[in-house]
Amino acid sequence: MSAGATTYSGGFARDLSRYATPALAALKIIYRAALAALAVWLLASIRSGSSPEVYALTYAISLIAVYMALDGTSFRVWALYVTGFILFAQLRGHADGMGMPVQFDYPVAMEKALFFGTIPSIWLQDQFYTFARLGPLETYTIGVYLAYFFAPHALAFALWRFDNDRFKTYAFSFMLTLYLGLLTAALLPTAPPWMAGQLGHIPHVYQVLPDVSGEVAPGAYQNVYQIAGANNVAAMPSLHAAIPFLMAIALWKYRWLRWAGAAFAVSMLFSIVYLGEHYAVDGLAGWAVAGAAWAGVTAFRAKREASAAIRAAQDTIVGSPAPSPELASSARER
């Protein structure tokens, strides 16, 4: 080939690469925008009367689309967190629709075995509660109970903003905890203490929150409960206890926040028992699920990072230039 042909060929390749790179970048932008638009359209088009299967499929596709659309950006895990939580919230109200029998007896047996024949919810209410009274203890426990609905997301946003690596572990552990709880509620629906008391399985247990709110704002509790799509028989494990415990684990890294996280987790466990919303064993099971989720996600991420480091080291070795014959000969002589 002549020198002129070689020069022309090299110039054509440079021109092609010059235009190809912006074109590929534009195609990537269009591709990601289309995926994001698909996710938004699916989330907007789902109807409240749709079956659980349609909900699950729609949100799963939306989640995958958002995750792919944000590939390589810091918003990717945050989008996974938000979309996964929306899917959980939609499915939670349907978890009791699988026809599994509601369990009343096993948590009572566990409570009595652990607490020397006593059920903590009954004991605490006998000692401290007067029907429909809003005293300091009721104010505190209700405030802690309601903090569950916003505090975990506030922590997620703070970690995403200031400690992205910690946020990733928290977000994946949060999702795993929620869906383990959802699966357990679907396969083993369990009644809370207030329901067991109302139906005669144990002595009467007050459901403090609607009792008190009925005096202050009649009908407010029922309206919020319906909007939230809550599940009356999803007591085991208690996600109300699990998520604050997960928050405490995430905050343990920070010296000035670790005790605040621990106090919130313990306060939540006390609150759900006192308010009659969960047995103590529900809360302890929630702690176990959250701890296992954090440990599992941490181990999985560490394994992935170690594998990535090994691959990077191998690529560096393969891509390095071979030693010259003189260096190889010198090495043999030494």
Kindly write down the DSSP assignment for every residue of 136-176, as one continuous string.
Answer: HHHHHHHHHHHHTTTHHHHHHHHHHHH-HHHHHHHHHHHHH
How high is the pLDDT of residue 315? 67
The string of DSSP codes covering 60-86 is: HHHHHHHHHHTTTSTTHHHHHHHHHHH
What value does the mean pLDDT take over residues 86-115?
Answer: 82
**CA separation for the pair 120, 107 (Å, rounded):** 12
What value does the mean pLDDT take over residues 270-287?
Answer: 96
**CA separation for the pair 196, 207 (Å, rounded):** 11
**Confidence band (pLDDT; 50, 70, 90) for 137?**
very high
How high is the pLDDT of residue 4? 52
What value does the mean pLDDT take over residues 117-140?
Answer: 92
Q: Give 139-186 pLDDT, tens digit per residue.
A: 999 999 999 988 999 999 899 888 989 999 999 999 999 999 999 988
Q: Give 69-97 pLDDT, tens digit per residue.
A: 666 555 777 777 877 887 787 777 666 56
**Confidence band (pLDDT; 50, 70, 90) for 327?**
very low
